[in-house]
Structure 1
Amino acid sequence: MPGTVGRVPTPSAPVPGAPTERGATSGADAAVETHPWAQTALGAPEGWDPAVRAVVDLVLASPVPMALLYGQDLVMLYNEGYAELIGPRHPGALGRPAGEVFADVWHEAGVGEVLERAYRRGEPFLEREAVLPVDRHRGGAEQAVFTRGHSPVRGSGGEIVGVLTVAAQTTQATQQLQSISDFAAALAGTLTLDDVARVTLRYCLHSFDADRVSFVVDEGSAWRMVRRLRGELLDEADERLPPLWRRLPTDTTIPVVVAARSGVASFTADGQPLRDTAADRHDEKVRALAALPLRSTVVRGSITVGYQSPHPWSPAERALLAASAELVGQAAERARRFETQHGTAQLLQRSMLPERLPDLPRLRIAARYDAGVDGNAAGGDFYDAFVLPTGALGVVLGDVAGHDVQAAARMGQVRAALRALALADPRPDAVLAGLDRLVASLGVEGGTQELFVTVVFGVIEAEQERITLASAGHPAPLLRRGPATGEPTAEYVELPPGPPLGLGCRPRTATVPFRPGDTLLLYSDGVIERRWQDLTAGMAGLGAAVRAAGSGDPRALCAVATAAVPGATEDDVAVLAVEHAVKPSRSASMEVPAEPTAPSRVRHWMTAQLTEWRVPEGVVGAAVLCTSELTTNALLHAGTAARVEIDLSAERLLVSVADSGTRGQVTRARTDTLSSRGRGLGLIEELSDAWGTDPTVRGSTVWFEILLPGG
């Protein structure tokens, strides 16, 4: 609700108006400090939302007349300059609704309605030449000209909680103050430190009209810094890329790290603050620099704002920078906690899913897992593929309801038990019957009847060209039939689903042909279910997408399946695909070190390998160009070594580049540029027949497929 203060305790943050921040207080500042705010909508200062606290600090530190009108009643809190502006209405106006304080003029044009609009609709108001009555003396009022502005104030969650009103002589100061609420709202939407860095650098560069800004965080064994320069060419796609962080040693004396390490702000009005630590000529040109530490108990860091000419740091500007640093500190703290929790969830998920899928001469296998909700929790979807004692291949895909550690733990138990049962007796009906008893037992032990598990298990016998499947409440598997005599087809296996596990499941099996050129697709319900449409529409969409795919390659079909049904899903998505190859494929791989010469080495290796395999020259050229681009981007944006894998079949060439970075992943939102230093994914899209990205627990994989002539 607008007007509600978020109770976010921040013991390290000072109470606004305290002498430790600005020296001895007097006048309006002293009245604010002693006012019983707990009896107003603002509540006690120690419980103020960090974004509101930052605005209050800014108001009280500013020499220009400023007021915060808080909540639905627009309760007033203001500084010394504003107290002089309203004259005898002070100090009675503190803590009272603005409508009561200015009841005599509230309904006049440009007074009450603009404040109500700013609060109710979030509409900022700026009047460059406002003639206002100034109550200088009790005997009468003077007329004075001000630039007047009102802007909505947003809490840490992005909701409007009040209005900031400013009467100043300069429009630049007003615009800067108006932007802080937008800055708080933008930071409220960040999840990772990469996100915080992007928003912070963009805001500081534009709001302060700076020549250079930087942001640094402590990584324990080193510092990580990213900077932006005025005039840097960054387009919309580059803004979404992981920032290019630079690692700094722990003992560096660069001002941004000194401020973070000491917790003390520094302001250089004219000098050479980066002379001894300059990385390039851009640093050498900086003459004025402000370095402000982040106020956070979890993250050590700081921000700097610099100019290439002398710059006096006014009290108002220092206060605005301090407020900005506090907002960044709060956002960085949230981001660090999110990344820690996210990393734990990924580690748990990694331990539950197979490290590698079997590598068989006639069966090509691929899988994909996308975490649902916000990707910050381990889910219950799982897949597995393993060779049975008979030489056949066992494949499974299941879903344990839930998005928490308990669901992931149950998923691990079910997956391990299924493999053990299958190795003892691989018949799908026997495996699921045994698994049913296990799930029922787990439900009794846990004292819950809410253990909901669905699973489909199959045994693929490539030599006999058949699959035997059984299902316990799971969506029907999909078979893509290869174009032996015409166009490819896609059909769902007619398999009795039965009840979920734990409910007395008596599974029945179905055996269907699985000829060379066919591909089996197992998937979780997150692939086909959407809130706004029924299940049959989702299944129809998946079938149509798989049928229209350019090939039956399992990796390509996994990507096709996850994007087949429009709309977002809050559920986890798991897909497993197995192709019965027409002919055995040839494969090779190369480990790529994180070195500048790596892309060149990849080009030479790949050209030699594909030439030896007698791949058509045109395909070789396109594949080498695309692989070089992906390798460059993996090294540049993930910052880690990469692995290049090539797989050649009779129909197509498949190339993948995997990194183990943790600083974000490539998305298909825009394909015209991936790297500001390369030609981007537009090149891959132009030269390949299919491409995609696979998020993994260890990083991300980008792949592309080129169909061979006559394949």
Structure 2
Amino acid sequence: MPGTVGRVPTPPVPVSGAPAGAGAAGVVLGHDWARTPLGARQEWDPAVRAVVDLILASPVPMALAHGDDLVLLYNDGYAELIGDKHPTAVGRPAAEVFPELWRLPGVGEAVQRVYRDGGTFLERDSALPLVRGRGAEQAVFTLGYSPVRDSAGEIVGVLTVAAETTHVTQQLQSLSEVAAALAGTLTLDDVARVALRHALAAFDADRVAFAVDEGGGGWRMVRRVRGELMDEADERLPPLWRRTPATWPDPLVRASATGEPVFAGAGQPLRDAAADRHDQKIAALAAVPLRATVVRGGLSVGHQTPHLWSAAERALLAASAELIGQAAERARRFETQHGTAQLLQRSMLPEHLPDLPLLRIAARYDPGVDGNAAGGDFYDAFLLPTGQLGIVLGDVAGHDVQAAARMGQVRAALRALALTDPRPDSVLAGLDRLVTSLGAEGGTHELFVTVVFGVVDAERQELTLASAGHPAPLIRRCTPDDRPYAEFVELPAGAPLGLGSRPATGTVRFAPGDTLLLFSDGVVERRRQSLTAGLDALADAVADAGSGDPRALCAVATAAVSGTTEDDVAVLAVEHALKPSRSASMEVPAEPTAPSRVRHWMTAQLGEWRVPESVIGAAVLCTSELTTNALLHAGTAARVEIDLSAERLLVSVADSGTRGTVTRAQTDTLSSRGRGLGLIEELSDAWGTDPTVRGSTVWFEILLPAD
């Protein structure tokens, strides 16, 4: 009977002849058995003596409950199980030693039945409370009871064999948990996080690694080491993948390539492939292939001390690798489909917006919940022959390749019409005829397109707009005493395109300091929420923004309404600046010295522009973190851009890499190791990430002191 919570209050039986701290054998041999029904040791029945010798010599936890009182003697393995009850349990009745357990199924009643009837009893997976160290826990055992007979064949006791299976049970539970966690993964980054977390905990490992093929002969590997500082932010961030050639001498690469597991019980299995001291310390390693159909890869588990890989551990490793392999295949299919859809979507949107002295422009597009589908939202901004700026934002109904293709047709036609005759009503009238023609050509009357088109005239400080069934634009203005507010443009919505739309135009003031925001209905529409509530939330968020900077307002707009949307989200913002801003940029090579070079360049540039020292320090620190992040996670060169206006400093870092495959844009978290995330949030007034056609851009804004 394994140990229980708490100590037995009965006074301990004195132990004579055994040294302090002696093992169970010493306590048993030194005990005064003459005071028990078993009698003095020299008078023990030979058969009983043989059983006792077997118990004391066995490494397996064993105990003998002797006589009608079932008095206990046991070995070291059993003493370890019962914890604080040793050594006082020696020579005492089992029911007295284990009062909490004796009435539980498979314990007291089973022992007494075996002693009385002479049969055997086996109890598998018996969960019993156990004291370990300072705390109590539920331990799982397989308990076996057999009668012990003397030389005359009479039953004189019961032999208990207790095999603890807690660790095996926990590993099986962890297998169930990892299966559930893998069911929610979408990308290989997600699969890697779950796989490493599971392997580190389930096998009590010092080092775990996960690898998948690159498709061109190489491998991508990611590692976790016991004791690494992993905070909540790190768990959300992309893992730090390391690329290795096909011939890399790592057992994980060999297992992944050949499909055969590798087990090393002692030595230095990572000697030829060690990346650092953590790898060099590994003495035992198991590497198993994923057993997937399409994706090749593997999982490895390492210990810093020699370790014999039991059959149960090998089976658990194989089962884990199979589950992880299935998840990796699903993730690769998702990434391929998602990447194709998003690349198609983004390739139809302008990669660069006009760079004008007094008109600052920014845009953002976020896919809906179904990231595998291309959508019909689009935006554009372009210079007109008159020197004015044409802006547009529209929505073609649908979330498929056909919708994206129609969106491309509508956007291209709109730009062509505007370059011929930029009047908004004329442009939308011509576009209406095109959509009608496309619908007739496709044999459908369900081609639903809404769009708003406008012309910005910075010299005249005015904005002319026309809408075909689209939500009214929003303008952020400031009162004479510099208090910001937001108002919707009063503009007749008109009918959607393709329905004989004849939109009316409206002209409004667009003075220096104003910012215009065009948006799709995905920004403000939510299930079980009125459209009015969404529009009010957007207006409040824009009015409360720290500045009228277009990039910041795009981020504010996409997060203004709580809840998730199943629709795509597109926003376009144009600021009429008070005066021209100053800008500079730097190409950052993918090499270790790059962050240092960025810091020196940026410090010199901002110092030349006479930016306050406090702003320079914060901006340089944040930019260094963003640059390091881009080089680590994208693995490609980056571009740093700084833009200084009278009100704020805007810094962006753009990369052009996606680890060799198109993966989901990290639009909610900054992909910098924990510390960077906190720095950006603490030192900047606004920040965000913008996915682009070939990578992503992370930016931050710092407002300048009023003086």
TM-score by length of 2: 0.76
The 2-side partners of 1:378 and 1:129 are apart by 64
Which residue identity does 1:582 align to in structure 2?
L
Distance 1:614-1:130 versus aligned 2 partners, 3 A rule: farther
State whether structure 2 residue 593 is matched by structure 1 residue 597.
yes
Q: Structure 2 residue aligned with 1:549, among 542, 545, 549?
A: 545
Cα distance per residue 1:635-675 (max 9 Å; x no partner): 22332222111111122111111222326655556x8x941
Q: Structure 2 residue aligned with 1:262, among 230, 248, 258?
A: 258
Q: Structure 2 residue aligned with 1:202, among 188, 197, 200?
A: 197
Q: Structure 2 residue aligned with 1:488, among 476, 484, 488?
A: 484
In structure 2, the partner of 1:240 is: 236
The 2-side partners of 1:447 and 1:484 are apart by 55
In structure 1, the partner of 2:370 is: 374
In structure 2, the partner of 1:38 is: none
In structure 2, the partner of 1:386 is: 382
In structure 2, the partner of 1:54 is: none
In structure 2, the partner of 1:362 is: 358
In structure 1, the partner of 2:211 is: 216
Answer whether contact 2:106 2:123 (CA < 8 A) is retained: no
Cα distance per residue 1:255-295 (max 9 Å; x no partner): 10111111111222223322222222222222222111111
Distance 1:263-1:489 versus aligned 2 partners, 3 A rule: same
Q: Structure 1 residue aligned with 2:246, among 212, 230, 250?
A: 250
The 2-side partners of 1:516 and 1:392 are apart by 15
Distance 1:600-1:484 versus aligned 2 partners, 3 A rule: farther
Q: Shift of the alpha carbon at 1:142?
A: 3.4
Q: Structure 1 residue aligned with 2:183, among 171, 185, 188?
A: 188
Distance 1:709-1:233 versus aligned 2 partners, 3 A rule: closer
Answer whether contact 2:221 2:242 (CA < 8 A) is retained: yes
Q: Structure 1 residue aligned with 2:121, among 134, 143, 148?
A: 143
Which residue identity does 2:643 align to in structure 1?
D
In structure 1, the partner of 2:639 is: 643
The 2-side partners of 1:127 and 1:568 are apart by 51
In structure 1, the partner of 2:530 is: 534
Cα distance per residue 1:581-618 (max 9 Å; x no partner): 11011111111112111111111111111122222222
Q: Shift of the alpha carbon at 1:237?
A: 1.4
Answer whether contact 1:287 1:310 (CA < 8 A) is retained: yes
Q: Shift of the alpha carbon at 1:393?
A: 0.6
Cα distance per residue 1:323-345 (max 9 Å; x no partner): 11110110010011111112111
The 2-side partners of 1:382 and 1:246 are apart by 36
The 2-side partners of 1:298 and 1:483 are apart by 62
The 2-side partners of 1:148 and 1:377 are apart by 51
Which residue identity does 1:560 align to in structure 2?
V
Q: Structure 1 residue aligned with 2:171, among 166, 170, 176?
A: 176
The 2-side partners of 1:581 and 1:130 are apart by 85
State whether structure 2 residue 409 is matched by structure 1 residue 430.
no
Q: Shift of the alpha carbon at 1:220?
A: 2.4
Q: Shift of the alpha carbon at 1:149?
A: 7.2
The 2-side partners of 1:369 and 1:129 are apart by 66
Q: Structure 2 residue aligned with 1:449, among 435, 445, 450?
A: 445
Which residue identity does 2:125 align to in structure 1?
T
The 2-side partners of 1:127 and 1:421 are apart by 85
Answer whether contact 2:368 2:569 (CA < 8 A) is retained: yes
Distance 1:588-1:198 versus aligned 2 partners, 3 A rule: same
State whether structure 2 residue 324 is matched by structure 1 residue 328.
yes
State whether structure 2 residue 673 is matched by structure 1 residue 675.
yes
In structure 2, the partner of 1:413 is: 409
Distance 1:618-1:267 versus aligned 2 partners, 3 A rule: closer
Which residue identity does 1:142 align to in structure 2?
T
Aligned residues: 566
The 2-side partners of 1:146 and 1:166 are apart by 4
Which residue identity does 1:581 align to in structure 2?
A
Q: Shift of the alpha carbon at 1:450?
A: 1.7
Cα distance per residue 1:425-458 (max 9 Å; x no partner): 1111111111111111111111122211110000
Which residue identity does 1:144 align to in structure 2?
L
Which residue identity does 1:533 align to in structure 2?
Q
In structure 2, the partner of 1:115 is: none
Distance 1:685-1:236 versus aligned 2 partners, 3 A rule: closer
Which residue identity does 1:614 align to in structure 2?
R
Which structure has the bigger radius of gyration? 2
In structure 2, the partner of 1:339 is: 335
SS at match of 2:269: coil
Distance 1:588-1:484 versus aligned 2 partners, 3 A rule: farther
The 2-side partners of 1:596 and 1:545 are apart by 40
The 2-side partners of 1:218 and 1:129 are apart by 53
In structure 2, the partner of 1:517 is: 513
In structure 2, the partner of 1:91 is: none
Which residue identity does 1:176 align to in structure 2?
Q
TM-score by length of 1: 0.76
Cα distance per residue 1:376-434 (max 9 Å; x no partner): 22111000000011111100000111111111111111101111111111111111111
The 2-side partners of 1:697 and 1:424 are apart by 29
State whether structure 2 residue 478 is matched by structure 1 residue 477.
no
Which residue identity does 2:673 align to in structure 1?
S
What RMSD over aligned residues (CA atoms) do the two structures have, in Å?
2.6
SS at match of 1:503: coil
Distance 1:394-1:128 versus aligned 2 partners, 3 A rule: farther
Distance 1:303-1:477 versus aligned 2 partners, 3 A rule: same
What 5-or-longer segments of structure 1 have no aligned partner?
1-125, 151-164
